[in-house]
Amino acid sequence: MDMSDVGTGFNYSLWVQITTILSSIGTVIYVFFTYRLLRRANSEANVNGFLSLLKWIEEGRPDRLAARKIISERKALDDLTDNERLTLDRVCKSFDILGYMDRRRLIPQEFIDELYAVSFSKVYRGVLIEHVNSEIAGQGQPGHFWELKQFFERIKQVPDQHPAITGKAAWPKNSRRQGRWRRC
């Protein structure tokens, strides 16, 4: 016996269809709002991650300044104190890690290029390359600071793309491109 024939005038099949539609709409709304919440949380996590990374990089500023002082004083590696060598080692390690993160694309290339590539390039060319080669020779580990060396190879042309050098109002879309040619 069909429930709609009971005589109450109530159509159960219509009621099931309506509740199914309303339930589906509710599910879509729930999924939409959950997606938005997760997206916002992911965005906030990215911002928090960036802030943590920036804090970590900036904690190394005194070491980078000490490395620049070594460059300006034109000190030879043999004349450095143990503390100055440790300072250079910390600078190398921090840029080694930054190079790894750059290679793995864990952070946007523009972030590195526009904020750190120019100063890194100057410090690397000024003293770090000599320190790295000395460390590799002394330890007999050709893989030591490999990420650091590869990082320099990726960003060495960035300083030439700086808006202060080019006279342009902004950075190019890809400041790591070689020369003046654009890929088509």
For the record, the structure tokens of 70 come out as 């070594």
Query: pLDDT-derived band of residue 108, with 50, 70 and 90 as boundaries?
Result: confident
**pLDDT band at residue 181 using 50, 70 and 90 as cut-offs:** very low
**pLDDT of 98 strictly over 80:** yes
- Cα angle at 169 between 168 and 173, to 5 degrees? 80
Mean pLDDT of 148-152: 95
45 band by pLDDT with thresholds 50, 70 and 90: confident
Calculate the average pLDDT of the chain: 84
- 3 class by beta-carbon count within 10 Å (0-12 exposed, 13-18 middle, 19+ buried): exposed
- Cα-based distances in Å from 50 to 53, 56, 85, 108, 147: 5, 10, 29, 10, 21
Per-residue pLDDT band for 182 (boundaries 50, 70, 90) equals very low
Q: What is the pLDDT of residue 150?
A: 95
pTM of the model: 0.69
Under the banding of pLDDT at 50, 70 and 90, the label for residue 184 is: very low
pLDDT at 94: 93
Cα separation, 167 vs 47, whole angstroms = 31
In angstroms, the CA 155 to CA 107 distance is 14
